Amino acid sequence: MAQTYDEAVQELSAYARAQWAAAGGIAANLTYEDHDFDPPASKTSWARLVIKHFSGGKSLGSGTSAVYRRRGQLTLQIFTAIGEEGPGAVGARQLGGPIVQNMESVGAVGNIWFRNSVMKEIGVDGVWYQVHVQTDFTYDRTT
């Protein structure tokens, strides 16, 4: 159960890794925004995970017993090769679609709730077609 920023990021990262694998993504081709990563030379699909907190504050209680609500967004940037070497937009949607559907179905991981899950078609980026799977998340820290 996430009580700290790091715990939330760890739980969300584990969830995203599992969903990437379930959608058919290769584990070694999932990176994080703060890691050096060279896209695969073989033009196989890859993804970058970005988890950002953007707001929070006390939602209940006073004194030593309180609930602090934290909010953020998980973004899984999915890249598939375009042209004859890859599946392009169709492949990107085939990887991202099931992940969004899972977020909508499960609604939460532990005490981290998902809201507003969506896949956004970003378009061509060099030799890659890119989509973003995004969900807003919320969790409470209690004292």
Domain over 5-142 is classified CATH 3.10.20.740: no
Question: pLDDT at position 120, please?
Answer: 97
pTM of the predicted model as reported, rounded to 2 decimal places: 0.90
Question: pLDDT at position 106, please?
Answer: 93
The structure tokens 């899950």 sit at: 117
**Rounded Cα gap, residues 57 and 13, in angstroms:** 23
DSSP bridge partners of 1: none
pLDDT digits (tens, 9 = 90+) for 100-121: 999 999 999 999 999 999 999 9
Question: pLDDT at position 67, please?
Answer: 84
Question: pLDDT at position 58, please?
Answer: 66
The structure tokens 């990887």 sit at: 95
Q: Which residues of the chain have pLDDT under 50?
A: none
Question: pLDDT at position 84, please?
Answer: 75
Question: pLDDT at position 63, please?
Answer: 66
Would you kindly state where each structural domain of the chain is located, as residue ranges?
A: 5-142
DSSP bridge partners of 112: 109
Question: pLDDT at position 43, please?
Answer: 82
Specify the amino acid at residue 10: Q
Could you write out the DSSP letters of every residue in 50-92?
A: EEEEEEEEEEEEETTEEEEEEEEEEEEEEEEE-GGGS-HHHHH
Question: pLDDT at position 86, please?
Answer: 78
